[in-house]
């Protein structure tokens, strides 16, 4: 039994969250582009043209690619004053040529075409003015492009340090254009741009030629507008369990501080159902050693204090560049299922006591490569059944559960956290569903034509769906992209990734780590035996094939455990639901090489093996429909957009969105 804190008796009951509370943690994002228009931009770039003409073409392409919903502006520096003007005039030569506002492509393109390289490089002054341009509300991003060192006061890095110390909340991503690392002046310029990015939790990128500049600007600007898309119905957990908000199936958003103790949430449920309570957060804002971390303790229990399941898990990213805020640096995903653990003692909870995704704790790239290249896979093995819960077990019979969440560690004062509640009603035909097995690793997915471009999502909530076929994308160092593949009962989702794309190579001779993970519909990391994840350390002229998949979806996987074979024990039992299975792709370089690698081109080969079969049937279809309808969100943004979270008739609910605009996908599918 657990001792639970009670609130003082006041007679007041906590209110339930409503659809009007729905929100996104990354709404109202504004983007300002700051471009170097100084005289040095008249110099030649690696392609033979002038840097300023290449920058104009890159900016024009970027403007064409930005979403219609973008709120964006343009500022230039060094573009009007001449070398004959007074130093004070040159060092305040910066103009907001397009004010921050809804994107006007014609105005942006006209402004881009109008400037020519003139005199000084007042980067610090331009950043000061840019911070004012962006105002004081919403998420504020600057993308700064420069081909050299600032030659004006105020110095740029101390300037952004002062802005941050004064509470100005901006992120600056910097692009060094045509900087030669063998030249002392260019190396100083690179260090200056790195410092600007570091002080504002941005990232520095190196663009040696016009193609790299074009690609970098398009990707950085698109993703700066998205960031990690935390979303859901806004709630606040209580310090006493009986005062916690009631969370019906759906997605919620809370903000956790540090050293504040546990928070409590109440989950009404149908007795005998399987309840999943998942927590998703992102580790970011690393210290000078490049370490980011985020960890949580979670307990799911009855109101009487009977522990149903508990887990401590976190995410860590050590010694690799991963500070870009447009993608999850690392994701903590915790999935608690009382029906799976109630009857089998605490040992089952202990089996998933920690999930740490760290570059420093990876398996070797050699083992990953061997697996991806099709080395002999383990044979299919039977699964060990878990004992069925007793009808009198409190975790099975309770009509309400209590989730306790404690933020144990984090690099930031506050962290947004998504809470996903999913309920599966009891299947009435479980004994008629084929017995699950731990199968061989599936073969690599064959490439098909045509290859279609795609832009991966920045979070689970904005993961982009991959239909069976071949897709191409680009991954920025320090970024994590999310994709999803839909699999029914009896099917297996598979993803094979070529790094880099055939016919492409990495832009710099810098070892780059690329990591591929698979996740369950309730955001549980699906691990393999013998390897924490599938990753490779790739050089400029090297190629790797990463291969990841989920077990074949089977309702009876919930009550099975693997002791050998391709998949780990918990991975099998976390693949008992139909719906979207997620794949995350992450790239990172060492801190010593930070910013030197350009976008990493990848090819994604997606497949779904098998035909739908073995669908469960549920006892109370009507009840499930009523509950689902009552919880569906009609507003914008969070809560319950997308797939509905009550699993009755094989329905799985999760947010579904692509790009910057959230697409609400409403629908429900019956079993069979």
Residue with tokens 């600057």: 142
Question: Max Cα separation, the chain?
Answer: 88
Q: What percentage of the chain exceeds 70 in pLDDT?
A: 67
Tell me what pLDDT residue 20 has.
42
Q: What's the residue count for the chain?
A: 672
Q: Give residue 68's pLDDT.
A: 82
Distance CA 431, CA 555 (A): 10
At 303, is the pLDDT very low, low, confident or very high (cuts 50, 70, 90)? Answer: very high
Count each helix (H run) and each strand (E run) in the chain, helices first.
13, 31
CA gap 306, 295 in Å, rounded: 24
Domain ranges in the chain?
Answer: 24-224, 230-647
Name which of 16-20, 226-230, 279-283, 292-296 the model is least confident about: 16-20
pLDDT computed for residue 637 by the predictor: 32
Query: Is the model's pLDDT at 373 over the cut of 50?
Result: no
Count Cα neighbours of 432 within 13 Å in the Cβ-side half-sphere. 9
Q: Write the DSSP symbol of residue 450.
A: S
Task: State how beta strands 600-609 and 492-499 pair.
Answer: antiparallel
The pTM of the whole model exceeds 0.85: no
**Dihedral (CA of 558, 559, 563, 565) sign:** negative
Q: Mean pLDDT highest for which of 51-65, 177-191, 253-267? A: 253-267
**Average confidence (pLDDT) over 145-158:** 89
pLDDT in tens, 475-501: 877 778 899 999 999 999 999 999 888
Q: What is the 3-state secondary structure (H, E, C) of 179-201?
A: CCCCCHHHHHHHHHHHHHHHHCC
Q: Which of 227-241, 273-287, 401-415, 542-556 has the lowest mean pLDDT?
A: 273-287
Closest CA to 514 of 484, 481, 485, 541: 481
**What is the SS3 assignment for 176?**
strand
HSE-CB for 119 with a 13 A CA cutoff: 18
pLDDT by residue (tens digit) across 50-103?
888 888 888 888 888 887 878 999 999 887 877 777 888 889 989 999 999 999
- Kindly state the average pLDDT of the residues 359-371: 31
Q: Residue 437: helix, strand or coil by DSSP?
A: strand
**Regarding predicted confidence, which is higher, 52 or 9?**
52
* Tokens describing residue 153: 């006061």
Q: Cβ neighbours of residue 162 under 8 Å, at least 6 residues apart?
A: none
Least confident stretch, 224-233, 248-257, 331-340, 663-672 = 663-672
Q: Which residue has the higher pLDDT, 640 or 223?
A: 223
Contact 438, 572 (CB under 8 A): yes
- Which tokens belong to 456? 């991966």
Phi-psi region of 503 (alpha: psi -120 to 50; beta: other; left: phi over 0): left
Strand ranges, E, within 103-228: 139-146, 170-177, 204-207
Residue 27 φ/ψ, nearest 5 degrees = -75, 165
Q: What is the pLDDT of residue 372?
A: 36
pLDDT at 670: 25
pLDDT band at 132 (very low <50, low <70, confident <90, very high): very high
Question: Which among 327, 581, 571 is positioned nearest to 466, based on CA atoms?
Answer: 581
Nearest to 220 by CA among 327, 83, 95: 327
Q: How many CB atoms lie within 10 A of CB 502?
A: 11
pLDDT at 250 over 90: yes
Helix (H) or strand (E) holding 298: strand 292-301
Decide if 150 contacts 124 (C-beta within 8 A): yes
Structure tokens at 164: 């941050």
Look at 638 and 184; give whichever has higher pLDDT: 184
pLDDT at 600: 82
Q: For residue 27, give every residue at least 6 positions away whose Cβ sits within 8 Å of its Cβ, in sequence order, or none.
A: 138, 139, 637
Structure token pair of residue 356: 């740490």
Higher pLDDT, 124 or 596: 124
What's the CATH number of domain 24-224, 3.30.200.20, 3.90.550.10, 3.40.50.410, 3.40.47.10? 3.40.50.410
For residue 244, is pLDDT > 90? yes
Q: What is the pLDDT of residue 648?
A: 34
How far apart, in whole angstroms, are the C-alpha atoms of residue 175 and residue 230? Answer: 27
Identify the pLDDT of residue 363.
Answer: 31
Distance CA 283, CA 332 (A): 8
33-42, 156-165, 199-208, 346-355: least confidently modelled range: 346-355
Q: How far apart are CA 273 and CA 423, in angstroms?
A: 7
As a whole number of angstroms, the distance between CA 331 and CA 479 comes to: 12
Q: What is the mean pLDDT of residues 157-185?
A: 85
Q: What is the pLDDT of residue 401?
A: 92
Residue pointed to by tokens 């994590």: 480
Task: Kindly indicate the confidence band of residue 565, based on its pLDDT and cuts at 50, 70 and 90.
Answer: low
* Range with the poorest average pLDDT among 219-228, 511-520, 623-632: 623-632
Highest mean pLDDT (candidates 89-103, 312-326, 327-341): 89-103
Contact 308, 274 (CB under 8 A): no
Report the alpha-carbon distance of residue 496 to residue 66 in Å, rounded: 29
Tokens of 347: 């040992």
pLDDT at 272 (0 to 100): 81
Per-residue pLDDT of 656-672, as tens digits, reads: 221 211 111 122 222 22
pLDDT of residue 560: 75
Residues 4-18, mean pLDDT to the nearest whole number = 47
Among 17-21, 319-323, 449-453, the range scoring the smallest mean pLDDT is 319-323
Q: Averaged over 626-648, what is the pLDDT?
A: 33
Q: Between 334 and 479, whose confidence is greater? A: 479
pLDDT > 90 fraction of the chain, expressed in percent and rounded: 22
**Residue 475, SS3 per DSSP:** strand
Q: For residue 470, what pLDDT band results from cuts at 50, 70 and 90?
A: very high
Over residues 263-289, mean pLDDT:
77
C-alpha triplet 61, 323, 22: angle, nearest 5°:
80
pLDDT at position 267 is: 93
Q: 595 versus 615: which is more confidently predicted?
A: 615
- Model pLDDT, residue 337: 44
Mean pLDDT of the chain: 72
Spatial separation of the C-alpha atoms in residues 258 and 236, rounded to whole Å: 15
Query: What was the pLDDT predicted at 534?
Result: 63
Triad 599, 605, 611: Cα angle to 5°: 150
Residue carrying the six token digits 């160092």: 477
DSSP of 239-290, one letter per residue?
SSGGGSPB--SEEEEEEE-SS---EEEEEE--TT-EEEEEEEEE-----TT-
- Indicate the pLDDT class of residue 231, thresholds 50, 70 and 90: confident
pLDDT for position 52 = 82
- How does strand 204-207 pair with strand 170-177? parallel
Question: What pLDDT was estimated at residue 488?
Answer: 97
**What letter does residue 78 receive in the DSSP assignment?**
S
């Amino acid at each position: 039994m657990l001792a639970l804190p009670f609130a003082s008796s006041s007679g007041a009951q906590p209110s339930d969250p409503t659809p009007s509370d729905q929100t996104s943690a990354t709404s109202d994002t504004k983007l300002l582009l700051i471009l170097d228009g100084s005289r040095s931009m008249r110099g030649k770039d690696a392609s033979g043209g002038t840097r300023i003409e290449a920058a104009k073409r890159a900016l024009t392409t970027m403007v064409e690619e930005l979403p219609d919903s973008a709120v964006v502006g343009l500022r230039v520096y060094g573009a009007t004053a001449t070398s004959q003007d007074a130093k004070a005039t040159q060092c305040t030569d910066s103009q907001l040529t397009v004010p921050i506002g809804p994107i006007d492509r014609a105005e942006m393109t006209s402004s881009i075409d109008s400037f020519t390289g003139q005199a000084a490089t007042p980067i610090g002054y331009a950043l000061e003015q840019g911070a004012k341009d962006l105002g004081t509300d919403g998420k504020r991003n600057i993308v700064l492009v420069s081909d050299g060192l600032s030659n004006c006061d105020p110095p740029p890095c101390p300037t952004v340090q002062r802005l941050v110390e004064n509470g100005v909340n901006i992120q600056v991503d910097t692009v060094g254009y045509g900087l030669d690392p063998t030249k002392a002046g260019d190396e100083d310029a690179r260090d200056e741009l790195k410092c600007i990015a570091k002080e504002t939790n941005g990232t520095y990128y190196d663009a040696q030629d016009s193609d790299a500049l074009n690609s970098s600007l398009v990707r950085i600007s698109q993703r700066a507008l998205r960031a990690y898309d935390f979303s859901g119905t806004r709630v606040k957990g209580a310090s006493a369990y009986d005062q916690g908000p009631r969370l019906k199936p759906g997605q919620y958003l809370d903000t956790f501080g540090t050293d504040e103790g546990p928070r409590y949430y109440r989950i009404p449920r149908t007795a005998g159902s399987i309840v999943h309570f998942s927590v998703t957060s992102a580790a970011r804002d690393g210290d000078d050693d490049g370490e980011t971390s985020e960890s949580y303790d979670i307990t799911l229990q009855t109101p009487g204090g009977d522990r149903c399941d508990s887990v401590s898990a976190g995410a860590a990213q050590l010694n690799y560049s991963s500070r870009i805020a447009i993608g999850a640096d690392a994701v903590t995903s915790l999935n608690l299922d009382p029906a799976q653990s109630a009857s089998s003692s605490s040992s089952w909870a202990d089996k998933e006591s920690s999930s740490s995704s760290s570059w420093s704790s990876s398996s070797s790239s050699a083992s990953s490569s061997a697996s991806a290249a099709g080395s002999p896979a383990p044979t299919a093995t039977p699964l060990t059944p878990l004992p069925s819960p007793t009808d009198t077990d409190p975790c099975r019979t309770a009509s309400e559960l209590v989730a306790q969440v404690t933020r144990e560690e984090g690099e930031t004062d506050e962290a947004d956290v998504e809470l996903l509640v999913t309920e599966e009603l009891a299947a009435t035909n479980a004994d008629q569903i084929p017995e699950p097995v731990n199968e061989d690793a599936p073969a690599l997915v064959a490439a098909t034509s045509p290859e279609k471009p795609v832009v991966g999502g920045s979070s689970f909530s904005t993961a982009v769906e991959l239909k069976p076929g071949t897709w191409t994308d680009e991954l920025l160092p320090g970024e994590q992209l999310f994709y999803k593949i839909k699999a029914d009962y009896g099917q297996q989702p598979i993803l094979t990734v070529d790094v880099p794309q055939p016919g492409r190579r990495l832009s710099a001779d810098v070892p780059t780590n690329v990591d591929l993970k698979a996740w369950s519909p309730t955001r549980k990391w699906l691990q393999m035996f013998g390897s924490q994840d599938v990753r490779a350390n790739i050089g400029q002229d090297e190629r790797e094939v990463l291969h990841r998949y989920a077990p074949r979806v089977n309702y009876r996987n919930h009550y099975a455990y693997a002791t050998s074979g391709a998949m780990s024990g918990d991975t099998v039992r976390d693949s008992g639901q139909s719906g979207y299975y997620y794949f995350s792709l992450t790239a990172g370089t060492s801190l010593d090489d930070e910013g030197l690698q350009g976008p990493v081109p990848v090819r994604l080969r997606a497949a779904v093996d098998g035909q739908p079969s073995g669908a469960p049937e549920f006892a109370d279809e009507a009840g499930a429909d009523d509950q689902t309808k009552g919880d569906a969100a009609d507003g914008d943004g969070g809560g319950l957009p997308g797939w509905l979270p009550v699993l009755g008739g094989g329905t799985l609910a999760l947010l579904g969105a692509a790009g910057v605009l959230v697409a609400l996908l409403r629908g429900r599918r019956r079993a069979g």
